[in-house]
Structure 1
């Protein structure tokens, strides 16, 4: 055993300062989540009048009582496009991984309480990511749909990538992953293909409206006059068109039917569940709030974080004496053995070589990899260049990109420059990637970017025989620094799908256990693939 010894002083003033700063970041994150909830629940009287259930409540009703639910991509679209105050965060979609009838599923619900559930450009990108997660982790998909289709203010941004979501549905079915859709209301035009491409469709009497062209468009295009019910009501699709397999009486009945369909998939029985016996860490997870410095420039020891995440705080470090700035080692989380890679500074040539070797060792024995981001990037300078930092850094990125084992990333502190790539950032396609609300991700720090642009501009002006104006250079430097700082924040990055969501640092261990169990199930599940998926003929 290699038990980590913590040297953290939870009674120090520094700990208290750090904890206050982290709590502020968490509160900001929670405030955004609450704002979305509040805006959704403003529509409750309207939903109640129609005998409908709000989208958040639909998900709650669908899930097994008391079971865990990991929300995915909840901050997508935050203050982007026409989201002025952050209340539209989520891209018009509520999604996550949870249990239905004891089966781990990917669940997605159109948030029809906000803007009718219309799909924003980032909502489409989110849907593509959800489909990727379902395929990689072999998760059945349950969609609770009620949407006005694409947000026509951004039709050009939605139209083409929207087609890919339909292609992915067809491929999921062909891969052997079942998709169940409950149509709670409107599903028009492209929105009608989402249930149409599902393997099981549940329509709801007097609520479902599913058609390629609604009454106004039909009248404009052909002159034909028809009601929504005549065009695409629930009875039409269940009794005549055959688009729906089941006809429900209301929202709750439709969700009950989805649970019944899921229970009969023969899915749970295909996965053997092994009870894991493991010890909790020797140090409380709450300590992480005071562990991360309020000043991002202040270094700290990531082993203190590891000691609060891994079983029994037992961590077998790899090549500890070779390079102290990059930390690699093995541990168990929730009883499952993993390789952990993290940073106590920039990545050196030695660190890159060590990490690439470590990744190959994990790949050889099928141990998943956990990347805990906390790096300023690759080290720079004459010595680094002469020591082959480009060569060794490239080999590290090759090792990350080509590792066959599942990779999980948690952005704990900074994740800058090519260090983000080397630590399996979004561009390297980790199986899952989440971030702490204090984290920062960018090409470089704001202050560095400002100075770089100042130096480049000043040199260009001198080359042209101009005398640089210090005030102009100050404005350029400060403006650039401020812009980069704003764009490196956790909410900014999560809004752009650079991660799968922001998490309270205290939830990290629980999340990792859940994700590792999800991955383990996927690894042992055998799918029955077909050429074209299930079709209604």
Structure 2
């Protein structure tokens, strides 16, 4: 079915469109500021010292490593933004999915201009997230190592618990055992526990003069044994390629090291970027209009089909049960020539829409079609009538289907995403392959206004038991801080900084982002789905 312009279409000349666009541009600017800080990396002094050592920056290294002109899907670009007392752009680590020698790979590049490339807690979590994506999608991994190791003041958050630093090494070992090639290039410091990254990889390159690998650096050696030794003698490229065999290949400089890595990738197995099964075609409607279509106020509806008309190839959707459960639109289409099953909210979730979606997911799993969830949801309908009709068990069927479907699942918050509605639409706890937000999106367990109202009502009930009334001033003192905190914590940059989503993407870039994601999905290992028990 062709998705046509509907009566809810917002005319670009209308006041509503201009208001939406102005609101969106403001939110877009806040994302752009955070992105600018991430792309810049460390301060000017750090960059200057880095260059004086003959070293390329993390992003310069990636530009030489990746195939010229190929797409790069960055994961966790805004990680650690304004989280720590000191700036740690991108958590001192650049990660993402790219193409090297025609093969899809996951790359990890320490940014030594940021705190010497030290691992902060979010840097560890970012590396673990990227490794998780690589494992799920059968991607080889390339580690461009240049790190001072653990940021010691926060070691308690990095070292001892589960899913911390040691899990990085476990993942390397397990992925190597699965046949997913693990490659390292030591381009700077690699010390203490970090030394296990290159030594556990299948093949390792080390750069003359700058690359060093040792379990204990010169200062630690002197403190522990009294021995005085310089870094190059202790763990440099000559030692490790000629004497210890800690590394396999000797590189003259960064450029040479990256060329060697490309050669290693070329002669090892790995998935090639899959051609789309049908010729891609642009939407009939301009994706640039999306910023004006997305409502400035979350209480205003966002016309679901207008979103799809600007994302899907040819603006075409084969809609599933169009007349049933109408508050959730389901159907199949293509993006960039790749097939996709789409679920997008067009109102609150009722039992009928939950049942329709669960059934649609079953069909996509049976046909091996990836799923795309587009969130704009307050949650499930509440009230005595709906509880009596079993909305809880019908919603649980949808959550069950989302959680257990073993096809690639991509999750994008375009409007609001609240409470159980977030879970039903494949929020982060439900295991999406990749998840992103638009700059205008928001997500919390409950809306700010609802939370503030509930807390004020609770206080009023407490006072009523004492024969007192809640004054307007006291009610405002309860409501204001809740609304302000929720507003800050619901924003995309806040989510991305804590790795609750993998990216914040602009509507005009969404098709490109999804095209590369679906291309990756086309090569990912197939898995059998076993649904849980659906309560009937």
Shared fold, TM over 0.5: yes
The residue number in structure 2 matching 1:496 is: 498
Q: 1:470 to 1:18 in 2, by over 3 A?
A: closer
Q: When the two structures are superposed, what TM-score results if normalisation uses the length of structure 2?
A: 0.94
Report the 3-state secondary structure (helix = DSSP H, G, I; strand = E; otherwise coil) of the residue aligned with 1:181.
Answer: strand
Tell whether 2:236 aligns with 1:217: no
Instruction: Report the 3-state secondary structure (helix = DSSP H, G, I; strand = E; otherwise coil) of the residue aligned with 1:322.
Output: coil
2:333 to 325, 328, 331: 331
Partner of 1:135: 135
1:155 aligns with 2:160: no
- 1:288 Cα offset (Å): 0.5
Match of 2:534 in 1: none
Per-residue deviation, 1:177: 0.5
1:164 and 2:167 equivalent?
A: yes
**Equivalent residue runs for 1:210-249 within 5 Å:** 210-249=213-252
Q: CA deviation at 1:468?
A: 4.4
Residue 451, structure 1, aligned to residue 445, structure 2? no
Aligned to 1:49: 52
Computed over aligned residues only, the root mean square deviation of the Cα atoms, in angstroms, reads 1.8
Output the CA distance in 1 between the equivalents of 2:258 and 2:503.
Answer: 26
Match of 1:276 in 2: 278
TM-score (norm 1): 0.93
462-471 vs 482-491, which moves further = 462-471
Q: CA 1:210 to 1:465, structure 2 compared with 1: closer, same or farther past 3 Å? A: farther
How many Å apart are 1:410 and its aligned residue? 0.8
Q: Quote the offset at 1:496 in angstroms.
A: 1.4
Given that 1:445 and 1:485 are in contact with CA atoms closer than 8 Å, whether structure 2 keeps it comes out as no
**Once the 2 structures are TM-superposed, how far is the Cα of residue 323 of structure 1 from its aligned partner?**
2.1
Q: CA deviation at 1:524?
A: 7.1
- Decide whether the 8 Å contact of 1:203 with 1:246 is kept in 2: yes
| Structure 2 counterpart of 1:367 | 369
Ranges in structure 1 where 5+ consecutive residues have no aligned partner: 526-537
Further displaced range: 42-51 or 165-174? 42-51
SS of structure 2 residue aligned to 1:320: coil
Q: Which residue of 1 aligns with 2:205?
A: 202
Q: Is the 8 A contact 1:89 1:495 kept in 2?
A: no
Higher deviation after alignment, 272-281 or 413-422: 272-281
* C-alpha contact (below 8 Å) 1:376/1:414 kept by paired residues: yes
Residue 71 of structure 2 corresponds to: 68
Deviations 1:418-444 (A, max 9, x none): 100000000000111111111101001
Whether the 8 Å CA contact 2:119–2:147 is kept in 1: the answer is: yes
Counterpart Cα distance in 1 of 2:78 and 2:332: 32
Q: Secondary structure at the match of 2:243?
A: helix
SS of the residue corresponding to residue 287 of structure 1 reads helix
1:407 to 381, 386, 409: 409
* Per-residue deviation, residues 83-141 of structure 1 (Å, max 9, x unmatched): 4xxx5231111111111111111111001111101111111111110000111111111
Which whole-Å deviations, capped at 9, do the CAs of 1:234-270 have from their partners, x for residues lacking one? 11111111110101011111111111111111436x7
The alpha carbon displacement at 1:462 in A equals: 3.3
Taking the aligned partners of 1:261 and 1:154, their CA distance within structure 2 comes to: 36
SS at match of 2:524: helix
1:37 to partner: Cα distance: 3.1
Q: CA deviation at 1:272?
A: 6.3
Cα offset, 1:456, TM superposition: 1.5
Aligned residues: 521
* Aligned-partner Cα distance in 2 for 1:51–1:167: 32
Question: Which whole-Å deviations, capped at 9, do the CAs of 1:29-62 have from their partners, x for residues lacking one?
Answer: 1111212333436233212211111111111111
Q: Give CA deviations for 1:474-529 in whole Å, capped at 9, x if unaligned.
A: 2122111211111111111111111111111111111111111111012479xxxx
Helix, strand or coil at the partner of 2:91:
coil
SS in 1 for 2:361: helix
Rounded to whole Å, the distance in 1 between the matches of 2:88 and 2:291 is: 28
Q: Give the Cα separation in 2 of the matches to 1:275 and 1:385.
A: 44
Q: How far apart, CA to CA, are the structure 2 residues paired with 1:272 and 1:11?
A: 41
Matched-pair contact (CA < 8 Å) for 2:3–2:308: no
CA distance in 1, matches of 2:257, 2:41: 25
Deviation at 1:274, TM superposition (A): 5.5
- Once the two structures are superposed, residues 201-224 of structure 1 have per-residue CA deviations (whole angstroms, 9 ceiling, x without a partner) of 111111112111111111222222
Indicate the SS of the match to 1:309. Answer: coil
| Structure 1 position 125 matched with structure 2 position 125 | yes
C-alpha distance in structure 2 between counterparts of 1:108 and 1:429, whole Å: 22
Structure 1's 99 and 271: CA in aligned 2 closer, same or farther, altered over 3 A? closer
- Which residue pairs with 2:100 in the alignment? 100
Question: What is the Cα deviation at residue 392 of structure 1?
Answer: 0.9
Match of 1:262 in 2: 265
CA distance in 1, matches of 2:467, 2:13: 59
Aligned partner of residue 159 in structure 1, secondary structure: coil
Work out whether residues 271 and 524 of structure 1, in 8 Å CA contact, stay in contact via their aligned partners in 2.
no
Equivalent residue, structure 1, for 2:479 = 477
CA distance in 1, matches of 2:273, 2:514: 20
- Residue 347 of structure 2: aligned partner: 345
